[in-house]
Amino acid sequence: METPSQPSHDRIIIFDTTLRDGEQAPGAALNINEKLTIARQLARLGVDVIEAGFPYSSPGDFEAVQKIAEVVGVEGGPIICGLARTTHNDIKAAADALKPAARSRIHTFIATSDIHLQYKLKKSRAEVLSIAGEMVAYAKSLTNDVEFSPEDAGRSDPEFLYEVLERAIAAGATTVNIPDTVGYTTPAEFGALIRGIKENVPNIDQAIISVHGHNDLGLAVANFLEAVKNGARQLECTINGIGERAGNAALEELVMGLHVRRQYFNPFLGRPVNSEAPLTNIDTRQIYKTSRLVSNLTGMLVQPNKAIVGANAFAHESGIHQDGVLKNRLTYEIMDAQSIGLTDNQIVLGKLSGRNAFRSRLKELGFDLADQELNKAFVRFKELADKKKEVTDWDLEAIVNDEIQQAPELFRLELVQVSCGDRAHPTATVAIRTPDGQELTDAATGTGPVDAVYKAINRVVNVPNELIEFSVQSVTAGIDAIGEVTIRLRQNERIFAGHSANTDIIVASAQAYVNALNRLYASMQRQEEAGKVAIAVES
Ligand SMILES: [Zn+2]
């Protein structure tokens, strides 16, 4: 294991927690392949640290962190981080899972607010202080790079908070993270909290100050930017701002805020106002693609008016602004759509394009598929090229993301056929291969074709569930566009997402439903197999 790079104070460290805190969003659960796909893309995006999971919480989390450490945590790649409570078991599990990474970090946390001490931990301040010191020291004996978080810092007594941080740094913490766990503070308060830490923790110059926060009042990004002005140098954030409740601070908003307004932020980082040096290591041209990938794999759609990555975020060329924009883009544009990788929707491949052209275009788009996946995606591409003359980058991404999302294929859709129209009862027939290899066919009628298909699938699969969300979006313009269907279904309190893309939206709807059912079914099997250690984290 290498020594972590020395604290750099003139660049903002981007710590991505999409795979840990983001994945705790209701229904965002990802399988190992999906996590690995996102981790690879986060590495291309240029995040400094990937918090890959909470290894002790479940065998699945352990395995995912280990795999990401091995595949993505290579020399020159991001630091891979694992979360741990301040216990020997948690910290040891994190260290074990992170072992394959060239650079790894253990992130350990304990609550410091009186309300948490009294009701959750049932411990005194003196006990918390000594546990923090002891457990940071233990983590430090296993890796050089240790991050410590006082949970619910925003509601902790500042004097006690300073004391805990001093103890953690003395024990070897190289990053101290200040979470606004419940999303309660305002920018001025959060800035003052960071300034107080900077001024009152005697050994604070030996650690990077990090911030973590939730968006319950829509203030997470604003709080973080204020924290930067007051000395924070690491931001913990997620793609599209996904996460518990109202989510985390959105990576794309923080990064573009710092990028577009760098002249404003430069002086706070000790740089000349006009310095053009980037404030983060992020390759902003990868932002749009990363956003779509995370949205597709988690099933959490991005609202059209979302800053930076929403479908309408760069739509100001139309309507009344058009004239001004045509005369000079800067009249209405504060940033260029291309800076987030939203390129013109290039036509890249057609019917006659071969496998090599297909493979190399995918490589350029950042997809490195195994042979089997490539073959499946190529078949899909050929089918698409037959129906649609021009296949764009976005179409390719839709196909590939769709292929990645197929696993685990417990139930397999073999056939779907509908008849509908204004004089017919919508009727659907489906054939499905079950996990034990039988092919079962059934039919049903419904209020519409999708309803009929779902009823027919339910008759075969027979897993109780409730459909709570169904949405169709087109990937590109035009009547021959690929339609993407995203659904979410619920069983008891758990939510499962499914996604699929096809030029036929009935086929995409059926496939998305089968994908979600596969996740639901896999989770039912896992629950039977192992008594999962369920741990609620509020870090
Ligand atoms: Zn959190």
Each residue's pLDDT tens digit, 128-144: 999 999 999 999 999 99
pTM (2 d.p.): 0.82
Identify which has the larger pLDDT, 311 or 13. Answer: 13
Instruction: Write down the pLDDT at residue 252.
Output: 98
For residue range 182-198, list pLDDT tens digits in order. 888 999 999 999 999 99
Question: Ligand 1: distance of its center to the CA of 181 in Å?
Answer: 6
Instruction: Write down the pLDDT at residue 316.
Output: 53
Instruction: Single out the residue of 457, 466, 515, 464 nearest to residue 486, CA to CA.
Output: 515
Residue 321 pLDDT level (bands cut at 50, 70, 90): low
Instruction: Write down the pLDDT at residue 133.
Output: 98
Question: Ligand 1: distance of its center to the CA of 21 in Å?
Answer: 5
Question: Ligand 1: distance of its center to the CA of 244 in Å?
Answer: 7
- Cβ 107 vs Cβ 82: under 8 Å: yes
User: Taking all residues of the chain, what is their mean pLDDT, rounded to a whole number?
Assistant: 88
Instruction: Write down the pLDDT at residue 262.
Output: 94
Question: Ligand 1: distance of its center to the CA of 214 in Å?
Answer: 6
Residues whose CB is under 5 A from ligand 1 (ion)?
21
Is the per-residue pLDDT at 329 higher than 80?
Answer: no
For residue range 145-176, list pLDDT tens digits in order. 999 999 999 889 999 999 999 999 999 999 99
Question: Ligand 1: distance of its center to the CA of 248 in Å?
Answer: 7
Question: Ligand 1: distance of its center to the CA of 221 in Å?
Answer: 13
Is the per-residue pLDDT at 537 higher than 80?
Answer: no
Q: How far is CA 376 from CA 187, 369, 406, 527, in A?
A: 49, 10, 11, 31
Q: How far is CA 117 from CA 110, 111, 519, in A?
A: 9, 7, 37
Percent of the chain with pLDDT over 90: 60
Largest CA-CA distance found in the chain, in angstroms, rounded: 79
Residue 473 CA, distance from chain mean position: 20
Question: Ligand 1: distance of its center to the CA of 220 in Å?
Answer: 11
Question: Ligand 1: distance of its center to the CA of 58 in Å?
Answer: 18
Question: Ligand 1: distance of its center to the CA of 499 in Å?
Answer: 26
Question: Ligand 1: distance of its center to the CA of 180 in Å?
Answer: 8
Identify which has the larger pLDDT, 265 or 482. Answer: 265
Instruction: Write down the pLDDT at residue 475.
Output: 74
Question: Ligand 1: distance of its center to the CA of 240 in Å?
Answer: 14
Instruction: Write down the pLDDT at residue 343.
Output: 66
Question: Ligand 1: distance of its center to the CA of 201 in Å?
Answer: 24
The letter for the amino acid at 261 is R
Is residue 260 packed enough to be buried (19+ CB in 10 Å), middle (13-18) or exposed (0-12)? middle
Question: Ligand 1: distance of its center to the CA of 539 in Å?
Answer: 5
- Cβ 8 vs Cβ 469: under 8 Å: no
Identify which has the larger pLDDT, 365 or 325. Answer: 365
Is the per-residue pLDDT at 459 higher than 70?
Answer: yes
Question: Ligand 1: distance of its center to the CA of 470 in Å?
Answer: 28
Pairing of β 439-445 and β 234-237: unpaired
